[in-house]
């Protein structure tokens, strides 16, 4: 079993600490109170579609969140994880920012630790302590929108992590500390 390097531990610890220190008001500022929020998804691996209202009357809708958790499951193992509600709010804000009418195409939502480890062996672009394993990250496309422009829209919000993977044509967003990178 490989032990984490000091650098890995420092990165993980500082990322966790920064996430804890981000005031809830920072996330709340993305959206006005009381806004009815809807999202739509297309899972590129399973062919499933979902369009629903996930927030109304000042609260997250439990049934809608369960359905979102299901469509964002690890398609390789079938494992389902509760997704971070802030991630849904971030996606809602991105959708509004770009004026999209199409559903988000899901490249990767939740990843089980087993799947993450397997993908990590295949690619240097997979983080050992990925936010995908915590239900706090998603890799997306928006049909009809250039992924460079989608990346810029995500960066403009200055909330969470934004990674750009031009060769695979997707953008990664997560609810960690604000940071950016190119894949």
Residue 10 lies in a domain: no
- pLDDT tens string 142-155: 999 999 999 999 99
Residue 16 lies in a domain: no
Alpha helices (H) in the chain, listed in sequence order: 6-21, 24-28, 62-71, 85-98, 113-122, 147-156
Q: Can you give the residue range of the structural domain that contains 165?
A: 23-182
Residue 153 lies in a domain: yes
Residue 12 lies in a domain: no
Average pLDDT, the chain: 85
pLDDT over threshold 60, residue 27 = no
Residue 158 lies in a domain: yes
Residue in the structure block whose two tokens are 């940071």: 179
Residue 135 has which token pair?
């239900």
Could you tell me the CATH number of the domain that includes residue 50? 3.30.1380.10
Residue 113 lies in a domain: yes
Count of structural domains within the chain: 1
Q: How sure is the predictor about 70, in pLDDT bands with cuts at 50, 70 and 90?
A: very high
- pLDDT tens string 88-123: 999 999 999 998 789 999 999 999 999 999 998 988
Q: What is the mean pLDDT of residues 60-84?
A: 97
Residue 15 lies in a domain: no
CA 120 to chain centre: 18
Pair 171, 151: CB distance under 8 Å: yes
């Amino acid at each position: 079993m490989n032990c984490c390097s000091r650098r890995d531990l420092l990165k993980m610890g500082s990322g966790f600490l920064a996430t804890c220190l981000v005031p809830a008001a920072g996330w709340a500022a993305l959206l006005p109170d009381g806004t009815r929020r809807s999202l739509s998804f297309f899972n590129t691996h399973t062919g499933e579609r979902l369009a629903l209202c996930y927030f109304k009357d000042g609260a997250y809708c439990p049934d809608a969140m369960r359905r979102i958790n299901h469509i964002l499951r690890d398609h390789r193992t079938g494992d389902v994880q509760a997704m971070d509600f802030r991630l849904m709010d971030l996606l809602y804000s991105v959708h509004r920012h770009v004026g999209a009418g199409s559903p988000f195409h899901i490249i990767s939502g939740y990843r089980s630790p087993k799947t993450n480890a397997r993908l990590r062996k295949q690619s240097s672009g997979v983080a050992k302590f990925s936010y995908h394993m915590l239900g706090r990250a998603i890799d997306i496309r928006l049909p009809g929108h250039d992924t460079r422009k989608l990346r810029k829209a995500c960066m403009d919000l200055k909330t969470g992590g934004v990674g750009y993977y031009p060769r695979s044509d997707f953008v990664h967003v997560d609810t960690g500390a604000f940071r950016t990178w190119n894949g």
